[in-house]
Amino acid sequence: MPRQKKQHLKQRPDGRFACRYKNLWFYGASEDEALQARDDYKKDEKTASAKKVTVAEYALKWLPREKVNASYSTYSHATIQIEKLLNAIGDKTFDEVKPSDIKQLFSDRFADCSNGYIKSAAYLYRSLFDAALEDGYCASNPARQKSARPHKGTVGSSHRAITAQEREWIETLCTDHRAHAAAMTMLYAGLRPQEAKALNVSKSVDFENNIIRVEDFIHVSSSNHYTISEKGKTARATREVPLLSILKRVLERQDGMLVKSASGSELTPSAWRSLWSSYVTSMEIAINGCSRLWYGRKHEHKSKELPPFIRFTVTPYDLRHSFCTFCRDNDVELHTCIRWMGHSDANMILHIYDEVTDDRSKKEAEKLQKALIRSQNGSQI
Task: Say what the pLDDT of residue 366 is.
Answer: 77
For residue 261, what is the DSSP state?
Answer: -
266 vs 81: which has the higher pLDDT: 81
Task: Say what the pLDDT of residue 139 is.
Answer: 85
Going by C-alpha positions, the residue among 18, 43, 38 that lies closest to residue 28 is 18
304 vs 55: which has the higher pLDDT: 55
- The answer to whether residues 180 and 174 touch, using CB atoms and an 8 Å cutoff, is yes
- The answer to whether residues 146 and 137 touch, using CB atoms and an 8 Å cutoff, is no
Helix (H, G, I), strand (E, B) or coil at 20: strand
Q: Is the pLDDT of residue 2 over 60?
A: no
- Cα–Cα dist 354/350, whole Å: 5
Lowest-confidence region among 23-27, 63-67, 348-352: 348-352
Read off the pLDDT of residues 360-380 as tens digits, 9 standing for 90 and up.
677 777 777 777 787 777 655
Q: What is the pTM of this model?
A: 0.60
Mean pLDDT value of segment 255-261: 90
Q: Is the pLDDT of residue 48 over 60?
A: no
Read off the pLDDT of residues 307-365 as tens digits, 9 standing for 90 and up.
889 999 999 999 999 998 899 888 888 889 989 988 877 776 666 666 666 776 777 77
Q: How confident is the model at residue 86 (pLDDT cuts 50, 70, 90)?
A: very high
- Cα–Cα dist 236/252, whole Å: 27
Going by C-alpha positions, the residue among 251, 248, 241 that lies closest to residue 212 is 241
Q: How many residues does the chain have?
A: 381
Read off the pLDDT of residues 152-184 as tens digits, 9 standing for 90 and up.
876 555 678 899 999 999 999 999 999 999 999
- The answer to whether residues 302 and 145 touch, using CB atoms and an 8 Å cutoff, is no
Q: How confident is the model at residue 1 (pLDDT cuts 50, 70, 90)?
A: very low
Q: Return all residues near 367 (Cβ < 8 A) that are at least 6 apart.
A: none
Task: Say what the pLDDT of residue 8 is.
Answer: 77
291 vs 264: which has the higher pLDDT: 291
Read off the pLDDT of residues 89-122 as tens digits, 9 standing for 90 and up.
999 999 899 999 999 999 988 887 778 889 999 9
Helix (H, G, I), strand (E, B) or coil at 252: coil
| Mean pLDDT taken over the chain | 85
Read off the pLDDT of residues 190-202 as tens digits, 9 standing for 90 and up.
999 999 999 999 9
Task: Say what the pLDDT of residue 15 is.
Answer: 85
Q: How many CB atoms lie within 10 A of CB 44?
A: 10
Domains detected in the chain: 17-51 (no CATH), 55-148 (1.10.150.130), 180-342+349-353 (1.10.443)
User: 334-340 contacts: CB < 8 A, separation 24 or more?
Assistant: 338/236, 339/236, 339/239, 340/190, 340/239, 340/241, 340/242
Q: Is the pLDDT of residue 185 over 60?
A: yes
Q: Is the pLDDT of residue 187 over 80?
A: yes
Read off the pLDDT of residues 341-350 as tens digits, 9 standing for 90 and up.
888 777 766 6
Paired residues of 64 in beta bridges: none
Show the beta-strand stretches assigned E in the chain.
17-21, 24-28, 205-206, 211-214, 217-220, 226-229, 239-242
